[in-house]
Amino acid sequence: MFARLVRSEPAYLFFRSPAAMLAAVVAILVIGGAICAPWLARTDPYDLSTFSLMDGLLPPVWQGGDPRFLLGTDDQGRDMVSAILYGARLSLMIGLMAMVIATVLGVGLGLAAGYFGGVFDAIVMRVADVQLALPAILTALLIDGVSRGLLPPEMQQDLRVAVLTLAIALSLWVNFARTARASVFVERNKDYVQAAMIMGQHPLRVMVRHILPNIMGPLLVIMTVDLASAILLEATLSFLGIGLPADSPSLGTLIRIGMQFLLSGEWWILWVPTLFLVALVVSINVLGDFLRDVFNPRLR
């Protein structure tokens, strides 16, 4: 299995592309760090009792800081390493969930629209058109704003993560739907699909078992790129102060907090989370670009 994977074409291309390899290493490091945050981090950045104001505003180690805090601390005495690991954990979690929801929703609607056509197709595609004209961030902001009006105030804090995830997912589904639909139009008339339909298989089975595996390539590319978009969107919303509150900081919230120290000398509070976020998003985007080239032989 492993040997087959290593000798496969994508793997061959992968080991010939230094950019893709570097990106993969960075992505694995960041994602691994985020997953292992509870074991890697010295302190829990959500638990105020684990850090003290006495340790506030310490610079990184190489600028003469405390060896306990590798990348320094913020004004609350929060360890920056712990903060970015937990922040990335939250950002990745929201990004992944939003991407998965967007994929399921978009692919589902796209498959159905392409398979059944007619009125259903027309409705889905008109909605998609309208949403495509609105940039994702505007959609997410609107959904967030509406949820603030609709939800009772006491539930808002608890549901913040869910609302944010849903707002991001609902602003990203269009890409999946359009790609899935376009691919279905191509696949539907091929012999294997026709054969499955003539055999009287259930439409759902035809869509999921026969068509879906054959359009995984382009979908995988969009999933990668949209994961990056989802993480960026979450960071942007949190940076704008619309996303997550300051007591459960994602990377965007950390950057927002760091902005207050832009004019004073404490550069690490701002730049550590910023660089971490950029490294994560750039590496995912480079991988997405690589996948696009792999699945689109014409570009090679």
| Candidate list 64, 149, 152, 213; residue touching another protein; CB under 8 A | 149
| Candidate list 70, 127, 212, 282; residue touching another protein; CB under 8 A | 282
Binders of another protein among residues 156 to 185 (CB under 8 A) are none
Name the region of 225 (left: φ>0; alpha: ψ -120 to 50; beta: rest): alpha
Q: Is 286 in the site for another protein (CB under 8 A)?
A: yes
d(CA 77, CA 52) in angstroms, rounded, equals: 5
| Candidate list 232, 257, 287, 294; residue touching another protein; CB under 8 A | 232
| Candidate list 206, 277, 287, 291; residue touching another protein; CB under 8 A | 277
Binders of another protein among residues 100 to 139 (CB under 8 A) are 130, 133-135, 137-138
| Candidate list 227, 235, 254, 269; residue touching another protein; CB under 8 A | 235
| Candidate list 55, 74, 79, 144; residue touching another protein; CB under 8 A | 144
Nearer to another protein (CB atom), residue 14 or residue 116: 14
Nearer to another protein (CB atom), residue 221 or residue 232: 232
Q: Is 54 in the site for another protein (CB under 8 A)?
A: no
Confirm if 180 and 127 have CB atoms less than 8 A apart.
Answer: no
Burial class (CB in 10 A: 0-12, 13-18, 19+), 108: middle
Cα–Cα distances in angstroms (integers) from residue 268 to residues 29, 120, 127, 254, in the given order: 20, 52, 44, 11
- The least CB distance from residue 192 to another protein, in Å, is 33
In 3D space, the residue among 31, 41, 37 whose CA is nearest the CA of residue 71 turns out to be: 41
Residue 79's DSSP bridge partners are 73
d(CA 17, CA 23) in angstroms, rounded, equals: 10
Query: 3-class SS at 249?
Result: coil
Q: Is 30 in the site for another protein (CB under 8 A)?
A: no
Rg (CA), the chain: 22
Map residues 192-231 to x or -, x wherever contact with another protein holds by CB under 8 A: ------------------------------------x---
| Candidate list 68, 148, 202, 205; residue touching another protein; CB under 8 A | 148
Q: Tell me which long-range contacts 263-267 makes (C-beta under 8 A, separation of at least 24).
A: 266/57, 266/59, 266/72, 266/74, 266/75
Residue identified by tokens 């965007």 is 252
Stretch that binds another protein, among 62-70, 109-117, 147-155, 209-217 (CB under 8 A): 147-155
Residue identified by tokens 């495509």 is 132
| Candidate list 102, 221, 281, 291; residue touching another protein; CB under 8 A | 281
d(CA 194, CA 197) in angstroms, rounded, equals: 5
- The least CB distance from residue 139 to another protein, in Å, is 9
User: What is the sign of the dihedral through the CA atoms of 292, 110, 97 and 132?
Assistant: positive
Given the rule CB under 8 A, which residues bind another protein? 130, 133-135, 137-138, 141-142, 144-146, 148-150, 228, 232, 235-236, 239-242, 255, 259, 262-263, 270, 274, 277-278, 281-282, 285-286, 289
